[in-house]
Amino acid sequence: MTTHVLILCTHNSARSVLSEGMLNHWAKKLGRDVQAHSAGSAPSGRINPFALEALSNAGVDISGYRSKSWDEFSQDGAPPLSIVITVCDSAAAEQCPVFFGGSGGQPVKVHWGYPDPSNAEGGDEGKRRAFELTRQAIGFRLLQLLALPLATMSKAELQQALVGISKA
């Protein structure tokens, strides 16, 4: 059974997109039945080109990526979510909509905050560097998530493990 992970940020243009790309990339490489999705509370309608560049440079297939609203994941026909991760400070304080986890009920929620690489100084090169560092930091946490025995963990164990990853 596929574990669906939703990664949220405000604009769904940078950190959440980096997370979706890296989780799907690593899950495929490692043969894990995990599917990442990303969305925003106030989607910008465009993905930051530096996010796409960082993912592409890491070998991630970026075709089909788009900035989307979290509303898509609280409607009929949405994938049954197991985990919801917020990755930007503003999204952590926002009231999330109700997400349904299929037969398992509500998904486990955790906040893994990262500074916005879009605000990096140093012109385009500074932004490229910030996006790459953010991609690497996110990728490191997501590899830890993929190392968990997701199929056999209780919600409490999963919550504890995800909080532990955030502190590592």
How many C-beta atoms surround the C-beta of residue 156 within 10 A? 9
CA–CA distance, 85 with 7 (Å, rounded to integer): 5
Cβ proximity of 10 and 41 under 8 Å: yes
88 in catalytic set: yes
Per the residue annotation, which of 78, 96, 133, 137 is the catalytic one? 96
DSSP per residue over 126-159, as a string? HHHHHHHHHHHHHHHHHHHHHTS-GGG--HHHHH
Alpha-carbon span 147 to 118, nearest angstrom: 30
Catalytic residue among 52, 88, 145, 162: 88
**Counting beta carbons within 10 angstroms of the beta carbon of residue 131, is it exposed (0 to 12), middle (13 to 18) or buried (19 or more)?**
buried
What gap in Å lies between CA 119 and CA 127, rounded to an integer? 8
Catalytic residue (one of 8, 9, 83, 150):
9
| Catalytic status, residue 9 | yes
Active site residues: 9, 88, 96
